[in-house]
Amino acid sequence: MCVHDKTGEQMAISTIWRRLSGRKRRRRSFYESSDVMRRAIETTGPVDMCLYSDDELRRVLETDMGALRRQAAAQELANRASRARHQL
């Protein structure tokens, strides 16, 4: 097994060890990590809301800050209303 750096060169074991043990990562607080996760969720692609109940979808429409989640909830409610009309 070979490990390569960004330029495609093979890395020596000492270089690998230095990279793994040399960097001290700054510890993130709970609030910072929560904020990062919230932003990641808000910026994801299309959201599948088919498993949500109608009440949950309405709650998302009223309270959620993410535009994609609100849009997906509105689309799912519209799809359900359309299906209900066709079944009558």
Q: How confident is the model at residue 61 (pLDDT cuts 50, 70, 90)?
A: very high
Domain boundaries, the chain: 42-88
| Tens digit of each residue's pLDDT (9 = 90 or more) over 22-54 | 767 777 788 788 888 887 777 666 677 888 999
Looking at every residue in the chain, the average pLDDT score rounds to: 81
Q: How confident is the model at residue 85 (pLDDT cuts 50, 70, 90)?
A: confident
Spatial separation of the C-alpha atoms in residues 19 and 5, rounded to whole Å: 11
Residue 69 token pair: 């989640």
Q: Which residues are CB-neighbours of 43 under 8 A, at least 6 positions away?
A: 68
